[in-house]
Amino acid sequence: MSDLFWPGADRAGDLLSGSALLTAMVAVEQAWLDVLGEAPGVDLTSLVGPDDLSHLAVGAEAGGNPVIELVAMLRARCGSQWVHRGLTSQDVLDTALMLCMRDVVTRLSGELKAQVDVLVEHAAAHRKTVMAGRTLTQHAVPITFGLKAAGWLNGVLDARDAVDALRLPVQIGGAAGTLSAVTELAGGPEAAVALAHDAADRLGLKWAPPWHTNRRPVTAIGDALVTCTDTWGRVATDVATLSRPEIGELAEGTGGASSTMPHKHNPVLSVLVRRAALTTPPLTATLHIAAALAADERPDGAWHTEWAPLRDLGRRAVVAGAQTTALLAGLRVDTERMAATARGAWAQLTAEHEAIHQFVPESAHGHPLGAADLIVDEVLGRARQEQP
């Protein structure tokens, strides 16, 4: 899906597009129709498609969501009034969004695994590559590039854990979360709950009690995606900083050009990843604000607020994830420049070490890198233990 406002958007493909949401909504209606068992052989998936998007989008305004118009369309085209019977619009749209987010999670899991693999290599290969450590933009103490890569790696592992911990639930509650209509259709409360469980299984989602106004499933997604973009933003910021000509210790494999300056080798991937890191936290904040204002048994406006931020979060996270993977895979490490900078600033970099030695003369005087190597081992051990 192209987007001139968001360079690189095509990396997310059709994820969370209008077509993807439509497909997911129809999948929910199909699963529920099959569970009810009152319209055997009816295939809803072939009845609507991309050509219907414009009509559904325009019609969504009248009811406040696209499900109402979709249900009318499906019933008219298949000839069965059992479509959607017992559900409410929020059931269908919430569940469809969980299906869409499952595809996002699958993509992110792949990107995070690829990033772990590359960073394990960098951390291991450069555990002895000395460079200047910097704090508050100034030289601090000596570190190794392996330690910096291990720090990136630890963040990526945290992000992967956050994504892996997501539990995407089905939403089936009926008008006010009681399954009242389904109870009548199924012949009793136990049968109604069993139907909802069956629908969850058919869709490959987790079962959960109705969460119409308990929006933790949505905010959890936002939190996990921002954990990812925070992590990638840190990597991108380091690369952008260390690729400045006056530092020159890192460089992107294929930097971007300038429209007017032929000498430029812009860290474009880093710039675009930082863009995502800067814009996704407010989107997640919107999800939390909406969750806090989800009133009564079904929200009035707060629910509607979630859809666009979820779309943008999912797509931007996937784009940033793919860009970070490409950034790390092509990263150029100038070990000679790192060594030269460290040598030139060695007196400054070891000032703390010398001060400690004077204060405690019997201290280990030969370890200006401290426990950097052991820290790298710890992170590498975590990565290797947790790799699937």
Lowest mean pLDDT among 133-137, 246-250, 257-261: 257-261
Q: Does residue 366 carry a pLDDT above 90?
A: no
For 277-319, what is the HEC assignment?
A: HHHHHHHHHHHHHHHHCCCCCCCCCHHHHHHHHHHHHHHHHHH
pLDDT number for residue 353: 75
276 and 11 Cβ atoms separated by less than 8 Å = no
293 and 302 Cβ atoms separated by less than 8 Å = yes
Predicted TM-score (pTM) of the model is 0.95
CA atoms within 13 A on the CB side of 360: 7
How many C-beta atoms lie closer than 10 Å to residue 258's C-beta?
10
Q: Alpha helix locations (H) across 37-88? A: 53-63, 67-78
pLDDT digits (tens, 9 = 90+) for 204-223: 999 999 999 999 999 999 99
Q: What is the CATH number of domain 88-170+211-388?
A: 1.20.200.10
pLDDT number for residue 2: 80
- Token pair in block for residue 129: 């590559």
- Catalytic positions, please? 258, 298
Q: How is the chain split into domains, by residue range? A: 88-170+211-388
Measuring CA to CA, which residue among 273, 263, 305, 282 is closest to residue 159?
273
pLDDT range class, residue 354, cuts 50, 70, 90? confident
